[in-house]
Structure 1
């Protein structure tokens, strides 16, 4: 099995990227995997798949003047792995400092363009020594910021091994699109991303639609690899009791924030309107790390704490419907148009009918509609959503048809057993091909 050095995403069980990475690399021996991680992964690392992590600290990460005066020292190097047991349920409340940074400082820096120049990451001698000791065959990259993009290019130049890039969303279309110098930054970052694409030996995308668009933009073919599901864990179990007996239950489980929050609130408003104008009742459950403040304003919207990943299949199966939302703003559409939610195949295999609330242009909407594995809603108007909900909850025949289509399609295209074998073979084929090419060139 090729030894893979990963940069840009850590293994974990409570973020979409972490879950996708864990499932895609499910066939690997943990001794053949190593991860370079940044502060964003601090405290959110799973050692079950990989226990060799290098933390980007003060040796590699530097703020420029005058922001360097606010930089806290952080040690670089191999992370000590701490094994912990997960609790039954948990929630997270950010500190006031985190809230100020996320909601005030970062938007200001992003608008001014300073976000792209105030810091940089370098490839330090200590990092290179750690890489040499691991001796990887392939560098696998998930870049999500200009900073990480430039670092990925530098790293690939220094260690000179085959490169695979994997895009989770279209961040390059939005990272420099607003504020001062937006045109300059958009052109520059897209040009820098094209440099990475040209250096890559294999390019992967999260959806077929993204692959088509990225080949048009950057001139290289992108193969689709999305989150696969373990059928033994996720297939429906018998005798799972419904979460609510006297009303329909709809669940959204996942992240909140940009690209999601507005559509969640629109859906909550529609549920309120539906309940006020109908004898049938619906309760909308939102399972997120942090409770959204506005949920308290809605009688029929309820926040649920996070539960361990292994308990999600039973929770999803106990619901009457599962929601996949995407905001309708131009900026959200740019960012998420080609994305495929990690939860999609997990939802599909459970047998619980799925509702997609998203613009028609998005990959998730087109995917669900084309193969009829979800009910689709293409407008975030309160009354429109409520009207569609009335149609959906009253049509049991359609619910059965949609859920059966979803389960069948998940088994065909998203089975972990099938997908991980294909994913692993991509790495083996790449390494074998390059080895043969070098051998022929040498002879």
Structure 2
């Protein structure tokens, strides 16, 4: 008898079902409870469960057929990751899938330390990696690397024209291991090699703090990590000891980060129970974050510097201070990311980072730039075009900030 597609799928599903039996038993009670709940809540919930089950079965059948029947061998892990990527592409521009190795690097950056050589560097326009500065008392400073040095090879492999992420990956490694770096230094005839022992490198997010003059303090924050609030409080205390009576807070090129760190910093700058940010989603409880304790810098003047790369958590800080008339914002229009992502672990330690809510400034503004779901490329191209337009014609790009029905515009955006 000829084999039908139905029998083929049934047999494939049967061969894989044994591996899922133990897992299925664990969720049997949950499934029973869900069906009971569906009966209590009505047919719509039961219909939702049926649709979900059928779609999951479709995905399973397609996965099994591709892995068992495709003409050439396929990598099951890649097939699964491509399928996840396809689902993510239909969502907003900021939802993403993070594979296990990439997540480890992301986690390191937000914990605040990693094994590396201790340099700040940048790669511009496909050029070589240029050392901006060695980290004080770090491995690179100890072997004599200077600002302006060019990193042209790592372990005898050229990194000329290589992007920052790849250069970073090659320089990082377990603490105590060694890496050979080839340096080109202006004024020397030949490049030279240095052997650097990797060490635990603190990743400071408050990258600069000093007194501009006798009264004005300056603090630069380049991202919001777990350690940012403590770093900020220390910087405020140090500058106040030097007589700071007003603050320049630099959030330019701040890529965002942890919401709670941003909220804690704003709490140091607002008085009373002022709202800092509201978070609203479909399947998550609405949350309102407000100032809750006496801050260290509640009444003194503040200027906030922003640009087109001030993103997400940095926009929460700038927006809250602006709405409460606590700061004057100077610079460019910020990026416009008002979506909140949560990370959900998958069995192989990879993560789904999906948008679960939107955040709103105290006056009710949603900062998120409009987007079409599934069209990430156009969204990013539009961002670039707006930045170029603002750079070409700043005056023509200015638009009035709308008044909120809740807040009255005074010196900043609003005052309750």
Please indicate, yes or no, whether the TM-score normalized by the shorter chain is above 0.5.
no
Higher strand share: 2
Question: Could you say which structure has the larger radius of gyration?
Answer: 2
**TM-score, length of structure 1 as denominator length:** 0.29
Query: Which has more helix, going by share of residues?
Result: 1
